[in-house]
Amino acid sequence: MRLHRLTLTAFGPFGTTQEVDFDALSSAGLFLLHGPTGAGKTSVLDAVCFALYGAVPGARQSPGATLRSDHAPVGLPTEVQLELTVGGRRLEVTRSPAQPRPKKRGDGFTLEKAQSRLRAYDSERGWQALSKSHQEIGEELAQLIGMSRDQFCQVVLLPQGDFARFLRSDAEARGKLLGKLFDTRRFAAVEERLAELRRGAEARVKAGDEQILGLAQRIAQAGGPAAAEAAPPTVRAGEP
């Protein structure tokens, strides 16, 4: 997955529209997101997570928490738009959380429902609308990314304080998570194939030993007592 552009409007500490051009930042191969406390570093990561999964990490998504900026003008809606390439597809996802907006008629506010839009870029037709369904967009992106929101937050984002939690998780949980992250299914398939070949070889050796044992017994019976005494001791499969 590669991020190209992130646009935040009235989100977190950002009262207006801010744009992050990841293509320009990553032109040198590596960039650092830094700034004083409260500058909005974590909010940028939250916006990426919100665009992909429709929610932000951990307690910041708790009931009563709001994604809307306290500094935003009343008529400016909160919105996050992320352009990215994942699974070989260039996509643009736009999300707006549930938020109050001024009534079109009369005074006061009304609650605007959360909205989501997903578009894909086609080299011949340009941007094409794919879906406006929260569920469809969530399933499509989760399948392309290959991780749930919790996995993405633990491994890709790792916000302040969460890295230690990842390290403290049990070995089985880390193994499953890292296995999914680095797609170790091909190695598991090779391991299973080798185990299958081993079982087949063991079965053939056992069958051969049983055949040799049967032949030795028939030879001993055909030769009488003297042949049985002269015959070497038989070794069964699995015996040293």
**pLDDT at residue 180 greater than cutoff 70:** no
Sorted by where each begins, the domain ranges of the chain are: 2-145, 184-240
Residues 187-202 have pLDDT tens digits of: 888 989 999 999 999 9
- Over residues 1-21, mean pLDDT: 93
Question: Is residue 95 scored above 90 in pLDDT?
Answer: yes
pLDDT at position 10 is 94
Look at residue 31 in the predicted model and tell me its pLDDT. 82
**Between 126 and 153, where is the model more confident?**
126
Q: How many Å separate Cα 44 from the centre of its chain? A: 19
Say what the pLDDT of residue 152 is.
Answer: 83
Q: What is the mean pLDDT of residues 124-131?
A: 92
pLDDT at 132 over 80: yes
**Which of these ranges, 110-114, 124-128, 160-164, has the smallest mean pLDDT?**
160-164
- The pLDDT of residue 67 is above 80: yes
pLDDT for the residue 137 = 94
In the CATH hierarchy, which top-level class contains the domain 2-145? alpha beta
* Residue given tokens 């049983």 in the structure block: 210
pLDDT at residue number 147? 85
Tokens of 105: 């008629």
Percentage of the chain lying above the pLDDT 90 cut: 40
∠ CA 49-54-59, rounded to 5°: 70
- pTM, 2 dp: 0.64
Where is average pLDDT lowest: 7-16, 111-120, 166-175, 227-236? 227-236
How far apart, in whole angstroms, are the C-alpha atoms of residue 234 and residue 216?
Answer: 8
Q: What is the pLDDT of residue 236?
A: 53
Closest-CA residue to 138 (of 223, 215, 49): 49
Comparing 223 with 71, the larger pLDDT belongs to 71
Q: What is the pLDDT of residues 68-85, one digit of tens each?
A: 888 898 889 999 999 999
Question: Does the structure show a pLDDT above 80 at 207?
Answer: yes
**Where do runs of H (alpha helix) occur along the chain?**
22-25, 41-53, 134-145, 149-152, 162-168, 171-181, 185-230
Question: What pLDDT shows up at residue 70?
Answer: 87
